[in-house]
Structure 1
């Protein structure tokens, strides 16, 4: 990890069938996994720290090997069977809508990026997040890494927004 960046409030949410549903998303646990990980990660923050997360100083990065495969498989099988496909499946077939939901919920208006890599997804996510911070695009990044077993979320901060970073590094 870059010496000028800090990781805080890391949580891992294991995949499980009873994750709470996300309104507007159906047929796949992907969105529920993302929202649950974010809620647990940012839920650790004190109210004054949550205020720092809002605005354009915070970005969101979602990294996975293959994205929402359950939705892709559902759409694919319905196409093969020539069945009518729910319009909801089109908007959730890419991860951007669930990230927009997270951004709206927490007032995040900075850059939103999605990354899909065949291997070493955690390392690649960290490198891209460090680049976002290092280039001055944002002061901090809410990083989400989604895998077959669950999702990990953490806040990576550093570089330009020194005051903002200090607020997020304070222990809850």
Structure 2
């Protein structure tokens, strides 16, 4: 999400989670740091935001998603082992966004995409169409995460 200057959007808050720091555990999510990482960077960004706004959409961008959990499930299936029920739940990237929405009282739309440019386009569209007043755009790649809270208007 480099170069966030984009027409029609204003940056309200930003946050990052570095690759060298493990995110705190997240109840209901196991094995992988992907979902805790998403929740941690989202929390940092929302804490830095200027006041709450329930009408906030969530857009998650990740080119591979929760690859650690996917690999774990694939190995278990290949070996004929039992796969724990939490893996079904967390195999859907929207699951962690639902957790974030519930925790922070956010009521806007939820989307998952695999490209940063598409994420910015989605954010711009959600605000322009009136689907949300704000968009929390979260980008996870290479063990790092960035979150940006955007609203309509210009920087």
Pairs within 5 Å for 1:1-172: 1-16=5-20, 18-46=22-50, 49-50=51-52, 52=53, 54=54, 57-116=55-114, 121-158=115-152
CA-to-partner distance for each residue in 1:124-159, whole Å, 9 max, x for gaps?
A: 211111111112111110110110131110111106
TM-score, with structure 2 as normaliser: 0.90
Determine which structure has greater relative contact order: mean sequence separation of CA pairs < 8 Å that are 6+ residues apart, divided by chain length: 2
The 8 Å contact of residues 12 and 49 in structure 2, kept in 1 or not, is answered as no
Aligned residues between the structures: 151
More helix by share: 1
1:125 counterpart SS class: helix
Output the CA distance in 1 between the equivalents of 2:18 and 2:31.
18
CA-to-partner distance for each residue in 1:32-84, whole Å, 9 max, x for gaps?
A: 100110111111135xx12x2x2xx2110001101111110000000001000
2:29 counterpart SS class: coil
Unaligned 5+ runs, structure 2: none
TM-score, with structure 1 as normaliser: 0.81
The 8 Å contact of residues 23 and 36 in structure 2, kept in 1 or not, is answered as yes
Displacement over 4 Å in runs of 4+: none
The alignment yields a C-alpha RMSD, in angstroms, of: 1.8
